[in-house]
């Protein structure tokens, strides 16, 4: 596990990846801010596609769901296939590297800088929510 380092430049770096409760996840550093993604199990893809907008997906996480696509770029060249949901840590109160070069940067220097471990805790919570959704689907299909 690598620690999040904020910069003013955009980049793509995997800070952590693994599996929790059977769900594959990625914690990414986009340079200016971190993001996290979890691969959606095939059993839930249809449910998620029923929402007109990805932010309506009923997963509770920091800032809400901001990503739902059938691929995930984990570097400039590497694309992972499969549906992923994701969220970011660039909301009000979150530090973002691009503030550093802004004339307003001094007003944001005390905003929250997320650690990879804190983001991993959110990832685990999302995985638990997905597991519950899968259980609910199974019971409603009986």
Please identify every stretch of the chain with a pLDDT value under 70, giving residue numbers as ranges.
99-108, 141-142
pLDDT on residue 96: 82
Range of the domain at 117: 13-133
Please tell me whether residue 50 adopts helix, strand or coil conformation.
Answer: coil
Q: Is residue 113 part of a domain?
A: yes
Instruction: Give the rounded distance of the alpha carbon of 12 from its chain centre.
Output: 13
Residue 141 falls inside a structural domain: no
**In terms of Cα–Cα distance, which of 44, 49, 88, 84 is closest to 68?**
84
User: Is 34 a domain residue?
Assistant: yes
What is the token pair recorded at 39? Answer: 């691969």
Whether 6 is in a domain gets the answer no
In a domain, 1, yes or no: no
Asked if residue 30 is part of any domain, the answer here is yes
pLDDT tens digits along 63-101: 999 999 999 999 888 989 999 999 999 988 888 877 666
Whether the full predicted model's pTM is greater than 0.75, yes or no, is: yes
**Of 34, 32, 57, 33, which is closest to residue 47 (Cα–Cα)?**
57
Q: Residue 53 burial (CB < 10 Å; 0-12/13-18/19+)?
A: exposed
End-to-end CA distance of the chain: 41
Please give the Cα distance from 78 to 90 (Å, whole number): 24
What total of structural domains would you count in the chain?
Answer: 1
Inside any domain, residue 31: yes
* Structure confidence at residue 26 (pLDDT): 98
The answer to the question of residue 138 being in a domain is no
Cβ 73 vs Cβ 12: under 8 Å: yes
């Amino acid at each position: 596990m690598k620690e999040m380092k904020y910069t003013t430049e955009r980049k793509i770096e995997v800070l952590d990846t693994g599996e929790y409760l059977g769900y594959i996840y990625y914690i990414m550093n986009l340079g200016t801010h971190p993001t996290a993604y979890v691969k959606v199990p095939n059993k839930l893809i249809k449910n998620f596609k029923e929402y007109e907008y990805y932010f309506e997906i009923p997963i509770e996480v920091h800032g809400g769901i901001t990503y739902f696509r059938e691929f995930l770029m984990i570097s400039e060249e590497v694309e992972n296939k499969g549906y992923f949901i994701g969220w970011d840590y660039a909301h009000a109160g979150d530090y973002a590297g691009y503030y550093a070069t802004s004339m307003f940067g001094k007003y944001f220097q005390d905003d929250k800088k997320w650690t990879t471990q804190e983001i991993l805790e959110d990832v685990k919570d999302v995985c638990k929510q997905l597991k519950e959704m899968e259980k609910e689907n199974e019971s409603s299909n009986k």
